[in-house]
Structure 1
Amino acid sequence: MKFAYKFQNLLGTVYNQGNIVFTSDDNGVLSAVGNRISAFDLKRNRSQTLPVESHKSFTCIALSPTSPIIIAVDEDGEALVISLVSKTILHRHRFNRKIYDVQFSPDGRRFAVTFEQNVRIFTAPGQRSVDFNPFHLEREFYGSHDETTCIDWTSDSKVFAVGAKDMNTRIYPVARCPNLGVYSLGGHSDVILNCFFARNSLALYTLSRSGQLCVWDCDTSLQELWTDDAEEQQPETITNDPLTEHRPTDGDEQPQAEWQPKRRNRIVYTKKARHYYRELSKDQSNVTSSCFHKDTKLLVAGLSNGSFFLHEMPDFTLIHSLSLGEQSITSCTFNRGGEWLALATAGLGQLIVWEWQSQVFVLKQQGHYDQLLSLAYSPDGPYLATGGSDGKVKLWNTTSGFSFVTFTEHTSSVTALQFTQNGRAVLSASLDGTVRAYDMMRYRNFRTLASPRPAQFSCMAVDYSGEVVAAGSRDSFEVFVWSLQTGRLLEVLSGHEAPVSGVAFGSAADKQLLVTSSWDQTVRLWDIFQAKVQSEVIRVYAEALTVAFRPDGNEVAVCDLNSKIHFFDPSTTEQTGLIEAKADLGNFRRDQDLVCGKTASKGRSFTTICYSADGSVILVGGRSKYICVYHTKEHILLRRFAVSQNWSFTGMTEFLSKRSNTELGQRGTMDLAQNDSDKMRMSLPGVRAGDMSSRHFRPEVVVYGLQFSPTGQSWAACSTEGLLIYSTQRDELFDPFDLDPTITPQATRHLMHGPSPDPGRALVMALRLNQTKLMAEVIESIDKSEILLIVQILSDKYTKLLLTFCAMQLETSPHLEFYLMWIKTALFVHGKKLKSHSSNIMPILHTLQKALLRKKDDVLRLTQRNVATLDYAETMLKLSLEEKKSRPVDEEMEPLDDHSLR
């Protein structure tokens, strides 16, 4: 098996922190998910995570209005220039300070960055023809007495306003202006959250965190601002403002006599109105986010109690109000047309796109707002089920990346998930002492399995027939076996003397076996289908943490606390192999550890294991930032994948750093303030929010679950960052098979279109080259009458390659019937030979099933739409004919008189 897997998508998390923005075509939303950026396509109903990573989590992003370029800034002040076309990082720039806001000018020529008490204006990427410097500094503005928090531009991109923590808003011109140097507006009693200019005007709206909204009116228009007609009417006055003043130095070229002091501002702002959001919310909630649409004059403000208000300005007319929960709304924004409103909640990990006129949700996605603990692939591969510590079970579409069903019946953490073999049900085990079965057709909980006494289930397995369910207990050290059809408890297996850590079903020596692992350093094999259940004990001499059966049932793999992977033969209970994986964990330490990474890693191990579809390799992961791939026969490490590069997580460093030393000790051992955004908040039980009871911590990088897809083309991992999906991406991969120097694309085309064509040899050469375009060209050039003859001369290994390629082409090619003929002929001719290699052919059959089901859904959706259109046309035609028949003849031919003409 080739391991050219690359990161494909991030599911399970749709939003973490920072702001969200709409794309330039209004069809997508960009959201910051940790140190990655996810793009949600609202038109095609798909999501994709950009394959770029930062060293820390992103706090603010900005999209250029004229070019497909993103500027994303992380917690440490490192700014990344990302191209949406190539999906690569074009440039990195380090501010080494916290950046609160980044905003492009409306014309796309500049962008402004809040920098401590200052504001820096840069030339936008691609605007300089001399050199490509994305961060060419034009000017830097001073004057704030505290950190700047927000920026907004006027419509002509010549003036911008900056809000700060000193409760003032300052207005600056980009270039030297005869009527404006710097204008400061006060009137607030809290930090300025946002400031907005009106359309084609200098009128300003300022909003503070306490919910106070001030409406400012200016007596000067944008056109009059840049005219100096009034200079002759007013005397010159000297200002001491260092922002607008330029005193010459000895190095200036101008003589001392030509210098003129700048005049004071000639524009005047007056406070037109003042409004309070606390009067609307009727509590002491603060405003956490806001956005203003200049064309429609709509202002939306999100509050800390989970509600938001939509007003029309400048009269502050309430249009709509809605509550999304009890968590504060972290970010909100309008699209360019103003019809859609996007809202994000960091506490729930929720992202919503709402059409406010029709009050319909265009997009409503919510991930697990706590850790993901388990996952399971459906047998055909298009769906994924995830369970988290929030007690929810979510179903995800691997193609679109969206969650379409959420089950909330569990009251505690979901520790294990598994689909039945026919894919009609998914089962989940939880610490609340129940195992629940959900119907995949009606999406309801149709069966609940419970133990006679309370137990916390830590693992679960379903047999091949889907009729027997087994779950291991963490506290009673027993394994419970139920019948899924009747819901009755069949057996209680006792024998372990410590918590049961893993269960798995498999077939060995023509009999069904159940293997269990426990912390009592034993692995037991149970023959539960016999009248008298017996078990065979295998010692591993360390706490067994997880167990897995190979798909063909001829091998059992066990991970122990010493980071050793044991392989056993289930029929003879003899050990067949051992992998020492301690060195592959890597050295790393948490912030609270007072030792180096090598010492801190001694107590860590792999806690989850998964076999590939053909059983040739295994995936292992656990309390490490690495996922390792081992060969089951050679017992060697094939590849190691890094889960994340996000240094906002703990457990990424290896050595103690003197930079983190403070007067009170290590910074990681200190409980920081509540406004520290890089910490997760955890409230103590039984207390109310806001009573100083919250504790802060940084999550640790841990892998909780791993599983290969049935097709073998991808695998997924549950980690602290979310649900990571890795795929082979065969369009960009050149992976030849059994190649020699005589096999070239030119020789293949010559055999196909030359004077003596040989389509059979040409097809074999194309399959050996394994180039998608070349194989499609050769196959689609073959006449359908020659398909049977060519398939008969193919060997088994080329038949597998042909079936895999045809399955992939079913999803994208318009020649549906043609490829179905190839698949049908290959299965009828080589069916018996392929059946003998069932373990190797199963991933290919799963790929075919997945492609056929997806194409079936597309055709069914198209058919239903066409039927509805034809029914509508038929109804309208009947109505028009009936109306024509009921109309009198003389009424149709009645001449028009003068009155009707008038």
Structure 2
Amino acid sequence: MKFAYKFNNLLGTVYRKGDLLFTPDGNSVISPVGNRISIFDLKNNKSTTLPVESRFNYNALDLSPNGCTLIAINEEGEAHMISLISQTVVHKYQFKRKVRSVKFSPDGKHFAVCKENNVVFVFKAPGAFSGEYNAFVMERVFHGAYDETTCLDWSTDSKILAVGSKDMATKLYPLDKWANFRVYSLGNHTDGIIGCFFEEDSYDITTISRNGQTCIWECTIDPKDLIPLDKAPPKKKKRTSSDSDEDNIDATKAIERTEEEITTELSQITVSEPEADTDKVRKLFYKRISRHYLADEVRKDHRDAVLTAAAYQKKTKILITGYSTGAFFIHELPDVNLIHSLSISDQKNFFHSLKFHRDWIALGCGGLGQLLVWEWQSETYVMKQQGHSNNMSCVAYSTDGQLIATGGEDGKVKLWNVHSGFCFITFSEHSNAISAITFSGNKKFVVSASLDGTVRAYDVIRYRNFRTFTSTRPVQFSCVATDSSGEFVAAGGQDILKSIYEILAGHEGPVSDLVFSPIITSTILASVSWDKTLRIWDAIEKGSSHEIIEFTADCICVAFRPDGQDVAIATLDGNISIFNVKTSNQVATVEGRNDLGSGRSDTDLITAKSPCRPNLLPVCVTRLMVNAC
């Protein structure tokens, strides 16, 4: 039998760090999630993750104007050209340095990349627009910045490229050679440039620095006034005179005329229109028409607030700025009128990326792992998703496979819909890391165990915490299990417990896992420990009497067969042993040491030779009265 597995979706987190993108139709948001890329369909309320994986996390992304080609660059400078039609990587390119930004030209013929040094590359974009079908064909290389480049923007006619850098200046580079424009520099900022944005159908530009200073520049020419270098009119040579020219006059040809003769000669000359000066070419210059300090309102409450992200909608002339305090402002240009201000979080370094499409604003926060899509006119959330802000420690499927419950070290329990990929409820009652989680047999509730010393049961239908179990003495729980009827819950702790309902003592090491028998009429409980033993209990009828099966290595986890006849145990030496529950005889063994050895790193902390051994961890069983809810 052959098994074929296909990657479908990524759950547990929605955003980490990097550029957010809207698709050309505005119905989907593309978000980098570590070393993968997720697409959130806002119209159909569904999310998918591309079957593309990088060795390092993605941080710079951009989408072609036709929405077919995605360029994603990771933190080490490795670029992937991804086809969204086939969802495969069609080409790779190594920049060998961290890339700050990547941007397609509006006509789709080129894309520009700025590295962490002062170099900007312009490549031909493959496709029907450019007529080039080889990937990463370099067109131009621009030098000129005195510090690291930070941002890019193209003019609407794709003829001029604006590059902002940390040297507090914005450089303008022409893609082709023009007679009245070459390289131009815009200064007057007192901090590094965060964003530079061209106006639509104009070369007017707005530059924003890290301290919130915004400068609006007006260009002296229009896009139609650019003259190619090969079509420029020839320059007339100016006639130079010297003192020696006066001595070279031919005296024989000089005629002295009276005043009356000169007047008569001038009256006979016909007056004609002056000829146009073909040598005069309008050159490109910029004039700063205004300067604004957008961060003053934020710094009234937070003196150390800095601008971290900015986005601009050229058609509506709406500017959005996000700050490290979690606040973002919406202004209307060129008068910089404040339209709306909102504070989402008090966490520092909140915004990592902003993207604007029509009336929707996509906001990403790497610290919280949060992704928001907000409609600024109606002031409502289109989408609000947040993953675990810390590592995810446990996961469980519901019995029908429709839901997934995850527990993280941030103390939160999240429920995810498998088909849509969205988190629809978050429980945050725990005050410490979640160590284990499980669904009941009827999928009506989910039970979680935490290091805060509590075991909590959550109602999946009413979305509330209806039961909380604690020990008589503070203890940290590490594993939990429910029986098939949903009446009993077993939890393992890291200290000796007094009676809750029943204490099953006997393990001499940490209990790593426990599970109830799937048979409805059975109360058999199997537990494994780092004391190299498997113990099979009849938790309710016989109490602490149990069968003991010893192993040669520490036991990690245990699972029952669906019919409840056999039990499988995984040990730290890479083996899986299967035993019959009634006879305690070994049925089969799966050798996995050779397969696991190739994937184990020398820096792994836990191996068969160096296991981690915490304190004694007995098992306690409590009764869960589901009908009381």
**What band does the TM-score fall into relative to the shorter chain?**
0.7 to 0.9
Distance across 1 between alignment mates of 2:483 and 2:566: 16
Closer, same or farther in 2 for the Cα pair 1:145/1:129, shift >3 Å? closer
Deviation of the 1:559 alpha carbon = 2.1
Deviation of the 1:396 alpha carbon = 0.6
1:298 to 277, 297, 318: 318
Deviation of the 1:342 alpha carbon = 0.4
Residue 118 of structure 2 aligns to which amino acid in structure 1?
Answer: Q
Equivalence for 1:376: 396
Closer, same or farther in 2 for the Cα pair 1:479/1:212, shift >3 Å? farther
Instruction: Say whether the 8 Å CA contact 2:109–2:129 is kept in structure 1.
Output: no
Instruction: Say whether the 8 Å CA contact 1:103–1:111 is kept in structure 2.
Output: yes
Deviation of the 1:171 alpha carbon = 0.7
Unpaired runs of 5+ residues, structure 1, are 237-262, 481-488, 590-596, 608-621, 624-902
Residue 9 of structure 1 aligns to a residue in which SS?
A: coil
Deviation of the 1:586 alpha carbon = 3.6
The reply on whether 1:213 has 2:214 as its aligned counterpart is: yes
Equivalence for 1:347: 367
Equivalence for 1:113: 113
Instruction: Say whether the 8 Å CA contact 1:418–1:461 is kept in structure 2.
Output: yes
The reply on whether 1:448 has 2:468 as its aligned counterpart is: yes
Equivalence for 1:546: 557
Identity %: 48
Closer, same or farther in 2 for the Cα pair 1:600/1:577, shift >3 Å? farther
Equivalence for 2:255: none
TM-score by length of 2: 0.85
Closer, same or farther in 2 for the Cα pair 1:231/1:279, shift >3 Å? farther
Closer, same or farther in 2 for the Cα pair 1:235/1:436, shift >3 Å? farther
The reply on whether 1:515 has 2:537 as its aligned counterpart is: no
Deviations 1:280-332 (A, max 9, x none): 11222111111011011111111111111111111111111112211411001
Closer, same or farther in 2 for the Cα pair 1:505/1:179, shift >3 Å? same
Deviation of the 1:43 alpha carbon = 0.6
Distance across 2 between alignment mates of 1:322 and 1:586: 52
The reply on whether 1:331 has 2:353 as its aligned counterpart is: yes
Deviation of the 1:412 alpha carbon = 0.9
Deviation of the 1:182 alpha carbon = 0.7
Deviation of the 1:278 alpha carbon = 2.8
Distance across 2 between alignment mates of 1:139 and 1:569: 71
Distance across 1 between alignment mates of 2:510 and 2:412: 24
Residue 38 of structure 2 aligns to which amino acid in structure 1?
Answer: S
Distance across 1 between alignment mates of 2:479 and 2:296: 51
Instruction: Say whether the 8 Å CA contact 1:171–1:183 is kept in structure 2.
Output: yes
Distance across 2 between alignment mates of 1:606 and 1:504: 27
Residue 298 of structure 2 aligns to which amino acid in structure 1?
Answer: S
Instruction: Say whether the 8 Å CA contact 2:108–2:129 is kept in structure 1.
Output: no
Query: 1:525-564 alignment to 2 at 5 Å?
Result: 525-530=536-541, 532-564=543-575
Deviations 1:149-176 (A, max 9, x none): 1110111111111111222111111111
Closer, same or farther in 2 for the Cα pair 1:568/1:399, shift >3 Å? same
Deviation of the 1:507 alpha carbon = 6.0
Instruction: Say whether the 8 Å CA contact 1:457–1:471 is kept in structure 2.
Output: yes
Closer, same or farther in 2 for the Cα pair 1:345/1:234, shift >3 Å? farther
The reply on whether 1:568 has 2:579 as its aligned counterpart is: yes
Distance across 2 between alignment mates of 1:567 and 1:120: 60
Distance across 2 between alignment mates of 1:234 and 1:425: 88
Deviation of the 1:523 alpha carbon = 1.8
Residue 224 of structure 2 aligns to a residue in which SS?
A: helix
Instruction: Say whether the 8 Å CA contact 2:410–2:433 is kept in structure 1.
Output: yes
Equivalence for 2:149: 148
Closer, same or farther in 2 for the Cα pair 1:130/1:31, shift >3 Å? closer
Query: 1:257-276 alignment to 2 at 5 Å?
Result: 266-276=283-293
Query: 1:782-793 alignment to 2 at 5 Å?
Result: none
Residue 146 of structure 1 aligns to which amino acid in structure 2?
Answer: D
Equivalence for 2:423: 403
Deviation of the 1:185 alpha carbon = 1.1
Closer, same or farther in 2 for the Cα pair 1:33/1:606, shift >3 Å? farther
Distance across 2 between alignment mates of 1:82 and 1:19: 16
Closer, same or farther in 2 for the Cα pair 1:125/1:404, shift >3 Å? same
Deviation of the 1:72 alpha carbon = 1.0
Query: 1:59-70 alignment to 2 at 5 Å?
Result: 59-70=59-70
Equivalence for 2:173: 172
Instruction: Say whether the 8 Å CA contact 1:181–1:265 is kept in structure 2.
Output: no
Deviations 1:829-882 (A, max 9, x none): xxxxxxxxxxxxxxxxxxxxxxxxxxxxxxxxxxxxxxxxxxxxxxxxxxxxxx
Distance across 2 between alignment mates of 1:227 and 1:132: 27
Instruction: Say whether the 8 Å CA contact 1:378–1:423 is kept in structure 2.
Output: yes
Instruction: Say whether the 8 Å CA contact 1:70–1:81 is kept in structure 2.
Output: yes
The reply on whether 1:604 has 2:615 as its aligned counterpart is: no
Equivalence for 1:428: 448
Equivalence for 1:318: 338
Distance across 1 between alignment mates of 2:396 and 2:2: 22
The reply on whether 1:279 has 2:296 as its aligned counterpart is: yes
Residue 583 of structure 1 aligns to a residue in which SS?
A: helix
2:513 to 502, 517, 534: 502
Deviation of the 1:602 alpha carbon = 8.8
Query: 1:461-500 alignment to 2 at 5 Å?
Result: 461-476=481-496, 489-500=500-511
Distance across 1 between alignment mates of 2:135 and 2:518: 61
Deviations 1:351-380 (A, max 9, x none): 111000000101111111111111111122
Equivalence for 2:36: 36
Bigger Cα Rg = 2
Distance across 2 between alignment mates of 1:406 and 1:433: 20
Query: 1:670-689 alignment to 2 at 5 Å?
Result: none
Distance across 1 between alignment mates of 2:288 and 2:597: 61
Distance across 2 between alignment mates of 1:310 and 1:278: 12
Distance across 2 between alignment mates of 1:532 and 1:310: 66
Residue 330 of structure 1 aligns to a residue in which SS?
A: strand
Distance across 1 between alignment mates of 2:442 and 2:285: 74
Closer, same or farther in 2 for the Cα pair 1:348/1:606, shift >3 Å? farther
Residue 518 of structure 1 aligns to which amino acid in structure 2?
Answer: S
The reply on whether 1:360 has 2:361 as its aligned counterpart is: no
Closer, same or farther in 2 for the Cα pair 1:417/1:264, shift >3 Å? farther
Residue 342 of structure 1 aligns to a residue in which SS?
A: strand
Distance across 2 between alignment mates of 1:234 and 1:198: 36
Closer, same or farther in 2 for the Cα pair 1:198/1:42, shift >3 Å? same
Deviation of the 1:64 alpha carbon = 0.6
Aligned-residue CA RMSD (Å): 2.7
Distance across 1 between alignment mates of 2:131 and 2:69: 19
TM-score by length of 1: 0.60
Closer, same or farther in 2 for the Cα pair 1:345/1:427, shift >3 Å? same
Deviation of the 1:512 alpha carbon = 2.6
Instruction: Say whether the 8 Å CA contact 1:182–1:265 is kept in structure 2.
Output: no
The reply on whether 1:307 has 2:318 as its aligned counterpart is: no
Deviation of the 1:550 alpha carbon = 1.6
Distance across 2 between alignment mates of 1:234 and 1:190: 44
Deviation of the 1:601 alpha carbon = 5.6
Closer, same or farther in 2 for the Cα pair 1:67/1:220, shift >3 Å? same
Query: 1:51-62 alignment to 2 at 5 Å?
Result: 51-62=51-62
Deviation of the 1:570 alpha carbon = 1.6
Distance across 1 between alignment mates of 2:123 and 2:324: 33
- The farther-off stretch of 445-454 and 120-129 is 120-129
Residue 93 of structure 2 aligns to which amino acid in structure 1?
Answer: H
Of Structure 1 and Structure 2, the greater helix share is in 1
Deviation of the 1:131 alpha carbon = 5.6
Residue 580 of structure 2 aligns to which amino acid in structure 1?
Answer: D
Instruction: Say whether the 8 Å CA contact 1:582–1:605 is kept in structure 2.
Output: no
Equivalence for 1:888: none
Unpaired runs of 5+ residues, structure 2, are 239-279, 613-629
Deviation of the 1:232 alpha carbon = 7.7
Instruction: Say whether the 8 Å CA contact 1:183–1:265 is kept in structure 2.
Output: no
Deviation of the 1:553 alpha carbon = 1.2
The reply on whether 1:581 has 2:592 as its aligned counterpart is: yes
Deviation of the 1:67 alpha carbon = 4.6
Distance across 1 between alignment mates of 2:362 and 2:130: 36
Residue 146 of structure 1 aligns to a residue in which SS?
A: coil
Residue 166 of structure 1 aligns to which amino acid in structure 2?
Answer: D
Residue 469 of structure 1 aligns to a residue in which SS?
A: strand
Deviations 1:704-735 (A, max 9, x none): xxxxxxxxxxxxxxxxxxxxxxxxxxxxxxxx
- The farther-off stretch of 511-520 and 8-17 is 511-520
Equivalence for 1:808: none
Closer, same or farther in 2 for the Cα pair 1:507/1:73, shift >3 Å? closer
Residue 101 of structure 1 aligns to a residue in which SS?
A: strand
Q: How many residues are aligned here?
A: 564
